[in-house]
Amino acid sequence: MFQATHGAAAVTECVSKTPLMTDLYQLTMMQTYLARGMTERAVFEFFVRSLPAERRFLLSAGLEQVVEFLASLHFEDDELTWLEREGHADSRLIDYLAQVHFTGDIDAMPEGTVFFPDEPILRITAPLPLAQLVESRVLSLLHFATLIASKAARVRLAAEDRLLVDFGMRRAHGSEAGVLAARSAYLAGFDGTATVLAGKSFGIPLFGTMAHSFVIAHEREMDAFETYARNHPDNTVLLIDSYDTLEGARKAVRLAERLRGSGIRIRGVRLDSGDLATLSRGVRDILDAGGLGDATVFASGNLDEHAIRALLAKGAPIDGFGVGTRMDVSADAPYLDCAYKLQEYAGQARRKRAEGKTTWPGRKQVYRHYSADGRMAGDCLTLEDDPQQGEPLLRPVMREGRLLAPLPTLADAREHTQAQLERLTQTLRELTPGPSDYPVDISPALSELVRTLDSAA
């Protein structure tokens, strides 16, 4: 029903939709807003306050999940019963929640857009209680998807054109994180994931062959390899480091010879431990000398963008990488300092002045201009009604709860991302910590609004 009414895409089952995924204070505040009739239009924007030292840019992600959450927003009877019984909502609030659905507007950057601190990537315009209700979950969805997409983009830059597969589900922070990390990684340019549910939910290509447990469950490593190859003739990538990696590579060669008559070929090997630069060269030599020149070498184990760049800089003959934990938890920057802030209420711009947490007020837009070679040259943060030169990055997505057009498919969003990454300057592409010199200018109109609000306070 909500799909029909609001035109959203099919709701992804593996991502929680319950509106109880919120902070209690959203309900206590709503109750007071309703009691006092404070139901005029509010404008909230999501932005990141500052870059982690280890990031030079961010990649927006999670819009599809936000739209699905909002388009399907409703309370189940048992949720309302529980809220009332526990005293978390008075009868006026219960009545409101019983009929609530999303009637607001969304403007947002398309998924996979490069952005910088203070730039809103999503704006929600809705009656104050409604915009407040959804704060916690909108934050949760945009924060995590953006966190991982921003990390994965760096891995893609480091790996150049090598195959990249997400291996991180087991140490991602829960199932939703595992599935959404796979999605963010694919958006950012990964080729696939090991996470089965991400394949089913998002159509992301799946990769996977064997673990060490498979090898050591067999009496002899060669038995494990042969058994596997005969059972999976089209997906024969052997994990060769359970005992001795070079010896494992030699067994792969011997197995290929043994299987020659059967039409089964060894497509590749995987290394998951040890000095991958040295071992990959040794393995490559053994495969080449053994007639397996077209078999690929795939590497995994504690990898991230720095490890991959170092391996490629050493000329390691590795054709693909499995990247797991360090990407799926964004280990070097496991959270972003992001916020979803009230910028306007009842037509008036608002500004908090808590120490260290001042915000740019009003309904904002970001304009980007490019240099002659197509690279990004600078952004301008301004008010929505103050057009600037360049490309406006926030675009209308929903109006009064209705999707204006279908969201891009994940494949299309992935292409958009690749185009965005190609427009990064050389400085922005660096993986080392260091200040970005990318200019984000504040428009005179926005500066003037700040002065006006502060002098009136």
Residues numbered 256 to 285 that lie near a copy of itself (CB under 8 A) are: 272-275
- Return d(Cα 303, Cα 269) in angstroms, integer: 17
Which tokens sit at 306?
């720095």
- Please select the residue that binds a copy of itself; options are 77, 161, 355, 385, rule is CB under 8 A: 355
Q: Which stretch binds a copy of itself (CB under 8 A): 1-9, 216-224, 284-292, 442-450?
A: 216-224
In the complex, the smallest distance separating the C-beta of residue 293 from a copy of itself, rounded to whole angstroms, is: 25
- Return d(Cα 440, Cα 39) in angstroms, integer: 34
Q: Is residue 320 at the binding interface for a copy of itself, with CB under 8 A as the rule?
A: no
Of residues 177-206, those binding a copy of itself (CB under 8 A) = 177-181, 194-197, 199-200, 206
Residue for token digits 């904002």? 364
Contact 110, 413 (CB under 8 A): yes
- Return d(Cα 403, Cα 397) in angstroms, integer: 6
Q: Is residue 163 at the binding interface for a copy of itself, with CB under 8 A as the rule?
A: no
**Residue with smaller CB distance to a copy of itself, 216 or 310:** 216
In the complex, the smallest distance separating the C-beta of residue 218 from a copy of itself, rounded to whole angstroms, is: 8
Contact 377, 370 (CB under 8 A): yes
Distance of CA 312 to the CA centre of its chain: 25
- Please select the residue that binds a copy of itself; options are 5, 18, 409, 447, rule is CB under 8 A: 18
**Residue with smaller CB distance to a copy of itself, 46 or 367:** 46
- Please select the residue that binds a copy of itself; options are 115, 202, 207, 360, rule is CB under 8 A: 207
In the complex, the smallest distance separating the C-beta of residue 204 from a copy of itself, rounded to whole angstroms, is: 11
How many other C-beta atoms can be found within 10 angstroms of the C-beta atom of residue 225? 28
- Please select the residue that binds a copy of itself; options are 2, 8, 31, 253, rule is CB under 8 A: 31
Q: Which stretch binds a copy of itself (CB under 8 A): 234-242, 311-319, 371-379, 411-419?
A: 234-242
Strand stretches in 282-319, DSSP E? 296-300
Q: Which stretch binds a copy of itself (CB under 8 A): 33-41, 100-108, 258-266, 306-314?
A: 33-41
Residue for token digits 């998002």? 202
How are beta strands 337-345 and 41-50 bridged, if at all? antiparallel
Number of residues lying near a copy of itself (CB under 8 A):
104
- Please select the residue that binds a copy of itself; options are 8, 42, 256, 307, rule is CB under 8 A: 42
**Residue with smaller CB distance to a copy of itself, 28 or 452:** 28
**Residue with smaller CB distance to a copy of itself, 137 or 368:** 137
Of residues 239-258, those binding a copy of itself (CB under 8 A) = 241-244
Q: What CA–CA distances, in Å, run from 201 to 65, 105, 110, 271, 323?
A: 12, 27, 20, 29, 20
Give the number of residues written for the chain.
457
Nearest in space to 376 (alpha carbons), one of 45, 190, 132, 114: 114
Q: Is residue 298 at the binding interface for a copy of itself, with CB under 8 A as the rule?
A: no
DSSP summary character for residue 401: T
**Residue with smaller CB distance to a copy of itself, 13 or 391:** 13
Which tokens sit at 234?
């089209």
Instruction: Say which amino acid occupies 257.
Output: E
In the complex, the smallest distance separating the C-beta of residue 99 from a copy of itself, rounded to whole angstroms, is: 19
Q: At what angle do helices 245-259 and 276-289 cross, to 10 degrees?
A: 30
Q: Is residue 314 at the binding interface for a copy of itself, with CB under 8 A as the rule?
A: no
Nearest in space to 106 (alpha carbons), one of 79, 74, 73: 73
Of residues 57-116, those binding a copy of itself (CB under 8 A) = 79, 82-83, 86, 88
Contact 232, 222 (CB under 8 A): no
Of residues 133-152, those binding a copy of itself (CB under 8 A) = 135-137, 139-140, 143-144, 147
In the complex, the smallest distance separating the C-beta of residue 374 from a copy of itself, rounded to whole angstroms, is: 35
